[in-house]
Structure 1
Amino acid sequence: MKMAASPYSFLAAPTVLTRGSVTNEVTNALRQAIVSLALPPGSAIDKSEVCAQLGVSRFPVSEALARLQAEGLVDIAPQRGSTVSLVRIADVREYMLIRKGLESEALRVFIGRHDRDLIAALHANMAAQRGAAERDDAEAFHQLDIEFHDIIFRAMEFTKIKNIIDSARANLDRARWLIVTPRRLALTIAEHQAIFDGILAGNKEQAIAAIRAHVDAVMVELFAFAREHPALFADGASLGSDSDSFPFG
């Protein structure tokens, strides 16, 4: 008798589990599935199926879902179970505004203090981004996109700023996955190159204008997507047709 495929086959079972690590592993697996949209907004989460796929008991799955609820990725309703939360465009707008302000000021402090190792790392990252885009490898490109910004933050050693941005990353990344297309990958490469060009030139104004334009461009596309697909967003129906619903510029 042929066994039915698991509906959660996209969840990779941990290869090594140690005491105390099970909940973390389950949390990471579910978070990745939600952020990458393998578990799309609004979908129900079947604990039993997750347990079977990951080879764990119900306790770490319940604990993982509680953690993801605190991150705003999961909704848990008594007697109704757990569902992947809808994306809140209002939250994304606020997080992106915070990110734009922090990254702009970080570049203002950083420009002119970079070293050859940083430049080499950014060169390598940009080349890898182009390679991932040519292969149409959205997952690899997404990780390289994150790494591009992390290279700069690591060089600055602004750990508090990076921690603030990282705390909002899961929901931001989930929203960005909604608009991943070959066109967006190409635009992101061009936008990253403009930031890098400003760093290479030691031109604070150029680099800051480029990072702000990058954030604005992503938000323009996300607003347009949300208006076309309001059911994926908790507040999608409230979006008007105005073009100034984000502090652009």
Structure 2
Amino acid sequence: MHSVGGFSGGTVATRGRRAGGSKVDQAYLALKRAIVSGKLAPETPIDKNEWCAVFEVSRLSITTAINRLAFEGLVVVEPQRGSYVARIHLEDVRQWMLMRRALEVEVVGNCAAEMSDDAIAALGQNLAYQKTAITSGDLEGFHELDTRFHRQMTESPGLARVGEVLDPIRTHLERVRRTLLPEPGRPQGTLREHEAIFRAIAARKPDQAKAEMANHLDRVSRELQSFVARHPGFFEE
């Protein structure tokens, strides 16, 4: 069994095969998932020989996958140093967070005014699952439910186009969210903020819902700045 970046290469390969596609695609998706999830931290070298062994492909295939990630800004390739995970660009993150805040604050106000009772009930069910995930220590499950909670707000036909704009922004921010999630107390704080957002939507109070969403996203920005100060090697301006 090979170990890639501190986790099981066999597991990565199995997930890649389930995803289908060519072996180059499988390696690309597995590497991308490991980077975005934080399993491969910024500055981590990417050992081509290990990945070749995991996916039973040539170095050319792994190089192709790495080049795709380099094009997306997730990997840096240097002639004398080799390939390694790129640091997170703070200025990009600030702009993505600005766009996300502007859109999601307006979205939640719309939800408080127009969301169907069934959709509101589904949001409440999601919150119940979030509580269970926290109680059981399932950070991965909580992260998925957190993402789903926000996405549920743009699933009505009237907000479908907004959702199409928000989805890639959320993807860009995924590395940051995954990096911050294990911070002590963060899941519990996130849940409390989600509950406040939900109560405002359920009470049909658009202004309050917008204020709660702004508070929620602003806290993420504050925590990011605090994290950057403690871990400067993860980021670059």
Look up the match of 2:192. Answer: 190
Q: Which residue of 2 aligns with 1:100?
A: 101
Work out whether 1:36 is the aligned partner of 2:37. yes
- Using the TM superposition, give the Cα deviation of residue 21 of structure 1 relative to its aligned residue in structure 2, in angstroms: 4.0
Structure 1 equivalent of residue 176 of structure 2: 175
More displaced, 144-153 or 118-127? Answer: 118-127
Deviation track 1:187-207 (CA, whole Å, cap 9, x = no partner) reads: 000111111111101111011
Equivalent position of 1:135 in the other structure: 136
Letter aligned with residue 115 of structure 2? H
TM-score (norm 2): 0.87
4+ residue runs of structure 1 moved beyond 6 angstroms?
none
Q: Which has the higher helix share?
A: 2
Give the Å deviation of 1:143. Answer: 0.8
Counterparts in 2 of 1:82-121, with a 5 A limit? Answer: 82-121=83-122
What is the percentage of aligned positions where both structures have the same residue? Answer: 38
8 Å Cα contact 1:110-1:156 kept in structure 2: no
Deviation for aligned residue 1:17: 7.1
Q: Where does structure 1 lack aligned partners over 5 or more consecutive residues?
A: 236-249
- 1:59 deviation in Å? 4.1
Q: After superposition, what is the alpha-carbon deviation per residue over 1:96-152, rounded to whole angstroms, capped at 9, x for unaligned?
A: 110000111222333322123312221121011111111222111111110001111
TM-score when normalising by structure 1: 0.83
- The match for 1:231 is 233
The one-letter code of the counterpart of 1:211 is M
AA of the residue aligned to 1:41: P
Q: Do 1:10 and 1:33's aligned partners in 2 also have CA atoms closer than 8 Å?
A: no
Shift of 1:44: 0.9
Cα deviation for residue 160 of structure 1 reads 3.4
2:8 maps to: 10
SS of aligned partner of 2:153:
helix
Partner in structure 2 of residue 210 of structure 1: 212
Aligned residues: 231
Moved more, 68-77 or 203-212: 68-77
1:223, distance to aligned residue in structure 2 (A): 0.2
Identify which range, 95-104 or 108-117, moves more after superposition: 108-117
Q: Which amino acid aligns with 2:166?
A: I
- Return 134-143 or 112-121, whichever deviates more: 112-121
The whole-number CA distance in structure 1 between the counterparts of 2:19 and 2:218 is 42
For structure 2, the 5+ residue unaligned runs are: none
Partners in 2 of 1:154 and 1:59 — Cα distance? 41
CA distance in 2, matches of 1:75, 1:130: 38
AA at the equivalent of 1:10? S
Find the aligned partners of 1:59 and 1:201 in 2 and give their Cα distance.
57
- Pair 1:147–1:140, CA change in 2 (3 A): same
Corresponding residue for 1:26?
27
Give matches, 1:52-67, under 5 Å: 52-67=53-68
Residue identity matched to 2:17:
T
Q: Distance in 1 between matches of 2:144 and 2:158?
A: 20
